[in-house]
């Protein structure tokens, strides 16, 4: 009995594994394969349903065609809405605008960037993705790690309206942008550090906040 249970269990495991693999490699591979799979299933369902209802053949073809066309339009619309939402969530520049189109005439190392990053910074300021991540190198006092708050201050000055009042959704988009665009002194951005440093940044007193911005204001707007 144990041998039979073991063999049938192994068989079910292999079937589940192959089914899962087929599902991910054939059906859920991309949006097109998902739509085609749904259309084929619905086509079979419609044909069987209308045939069971003993509809005339020509009416079965007409009703099935109309139903499939409507379903195709709905699936494409839903897929398009989902893709647009995904792009908006990942597209920093669809929500925020920079008040400069380039950093020409500025000594980039003063802002923590290399001169070689000039082209990528220009791409960002004009709403395009950089060709590679930009390394931000300004470190905090007595530390080796790059200073998140200094990067926040630079972005605050470059983004129209600043970032200090960002809440929830806009803050999440800002964090995604930073994670996808920058490294910090050679290291990947850490979300926990972003959250804690941003909280410190927005909770600075007005005097401290203004004082901390001055050094970057002089660099960016002299």
> Which residues face 187 on adjacent strands?
184
- Segment 57-113, tens digit of pLDDT: 777 788 778 877 887 888 788 777 777 666 655 555 556 788 888 898 899 999 999
Cα 60 to Cα 49: distance, rounded to the nearest angstrom: 9
What's the CA gap between 117 and 122, in Å, rounded? 9
Give the tens place of pLDDT for each residue, 140-185: 766 667 789 999 999 999 999 999 999 888 899 899 999 999 999 8
53-87 exposure pattern, b = at least 16 Cβ within 10 A, e = fewer: eeeeeeebeeebeebeeebeeebeeeeeeeeeeee
Distance CA 163, CA 213 (A): 13
Q: Where are the beta strands (DSSP E) in the chain?
A: 134-136, 182-184, 187-188
Distance CA 158, CA 137 (A): 18
Alpha-carbon span 131 to 54, nearest angstrom: 61
pLDDT tens across 13-41, in order?
555 555 555 555 555 556 677 777 777 77
CB 193 within 8 A of CB 212: no
Is the separation of the CB atoms in 138 and 104 below 8 Å?
no
pTM of the model: 0.60
Sorting pLDDT into bands at 50, 70 and 90, what band is 200?
A: very high
């Amino acid at each position: 009995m144990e041998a039979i249970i073991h063999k049938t269990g192994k068989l079910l495991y292999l079937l589940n594994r192959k089914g899962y693999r087929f599902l991910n490699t054939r059906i859920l591979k991309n949006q097109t394969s998902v739509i085609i799979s749904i259309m084929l299933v619905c086509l079979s369902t419609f044909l069987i349903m209308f045939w069971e209802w003993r509809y005339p053949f020509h009416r079965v073809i007409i009703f099935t065609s109309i139903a499939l066309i409507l379903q195709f339009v709905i699936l494409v619309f839903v897929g398009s809405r989902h893709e647009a939402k995904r792009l908006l969530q990942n597209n920093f520049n669809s929500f925020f605008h920079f008040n400069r189109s380039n950093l020409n005439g500025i000594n980039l190392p003063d802002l923590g960037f290399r001169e070689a990053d000039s082209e990528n910074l220009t791409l960002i300021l004009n709403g395009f993705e950089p060709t590679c991540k930009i390394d931000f190198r300004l470190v905090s006092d007595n530390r080796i790690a790059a200073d998140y708050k200094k990067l926040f201050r630079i972005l605050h000055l470059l983004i129209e309206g600043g970032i200090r009042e960002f809440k929830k959704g806009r803050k999440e988009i800002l964090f995604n942008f930073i994670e996808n665009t920058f490294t910090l002194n050679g290291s990947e951005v850490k979300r926990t550090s972003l959250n804690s440093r941003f909280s410190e940044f927005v909770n600075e007193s007005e005097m401290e906040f203004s004082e901390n911005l001055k050094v970057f204001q002089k660099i960016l707007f002299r």
